[in-house]
């Protein structure tokens, strides 16, 4: 184990290095994390930012799908670009303000989490449309279903608090 941090939220974060030099973060003491008001407030802020991104995503999606005639998956990818920019800015400035690290490293990690979330979103969207859902409704549902994955990735990795031992800042 390379570093342990006892966070203000009552959680214990553990960082290790794999043999390939990749940092792995684990959270222990989940019940303490769930009892802390701070974590629920962060989730509420994340959801508020997500709601603004949701509106941006759907507005751009509808404009590209119906206005520009793009294929629904292409429209979803393009609208993602607008929403991810909105969400990164607001999450950095407001939701995870106390956890600000180097802007470029956080942006890169945020983008990785967002791309994983986009992949999950596209899978859910394609499945819903394949099952007969209307495309805009399918996108709306897919975004909601993928939100928990995005929150955990951003809280535990993209905007994580630096870990004792200096791993998080490298």
Summarize pLDDT for 13-46 with one digit per residue, the tens.
Answer: 444 444 444 454 444 555 556 666 777 888 889 8
Kindly state the percentage of the chain with pLDDT values over 90.
40
Over range 115-135, report the average pLDDT.
95
Give residue 33's pLDDT. Answer: 61
Give residue 24's pLDDT. Answer: 46
Phi-psi region of 146 (alpha: psi -120 to 50; beta: other; left: phi over 0): alpha
Which of 5-9, 66-70, 104-108 has the weakest average pLDDT?
5-9
Whether 64 shows a pLDDT value over 60: the answer reads: yes
Judged on CB neighbours under 10 Å (0-12, 13-18, 19+), 29 is: middle
Give residue 151's pLDDT. Answer: 86
Give residue 164's pLDDT. Answer: 52
Contacts of 136 (CB under 8 A, 6+ apart): 58, 61, 62, 65
Give residue 170's pLDDT. Answer: 43
Nearest residue to 13 (alpha-carbon basis) of 170, 160, 169: 160
From residue 22, how far is each of 17, 50, 67 by CA, in Å? 5, 29, 44
**CA-to-CA distance for 21 and 103, rounded, in angstroms?**
22
* Helix, strand, or coil (residue 20): coil
**Contact 17/2 with Cβ under 8 angstroms?**
yes
**Contact 1/16 with Cβ under 8 angstroms?**
yes
Quickly state the pLDDT bin for 165 (edges 50, 70, 90): low
Ordered by start, the domain boundaries in the chain are: 41-158
**CA-to-CA distance for 8 and 45, rounded, in angstroms?**
18
């Amino acid at each position: 184990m390379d570093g342990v941090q006892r966070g203000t939220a009552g959680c214990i974060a553990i960082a290790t290095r794999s043999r390939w030099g990749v940092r792995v973060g684990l959270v222990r003491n989940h019940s303490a994390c769930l009892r802390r008001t701070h974590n629920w407030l962060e989730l509420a802020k994340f959801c508020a930012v997500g709601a603004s991104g949701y509106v941006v995503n759907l507005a751009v999606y509808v404009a590209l799908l119906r206005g520009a005639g793009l294929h629904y998956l292409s429209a979803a990818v393009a609208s993602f670009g607008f929403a991810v920019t909105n969400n990164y800015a607001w999450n950095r400035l407001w939701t995870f303000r106390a956890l600000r690290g180097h802007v470029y490293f956080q942006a890169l990690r945020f983008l990785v989490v967002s791309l994983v979330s986009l992949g999950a979103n596209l899978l859910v969207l394609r499945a819903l449309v394949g099952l007969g859902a209307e495309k805009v409704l399918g996108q709306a549902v897919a975004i909601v279903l993928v939100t928990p994955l995005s929150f955990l990735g951003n809280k535990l990795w993209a905007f994580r608090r630096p870990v004792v031992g200096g791993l998080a800042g490298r």
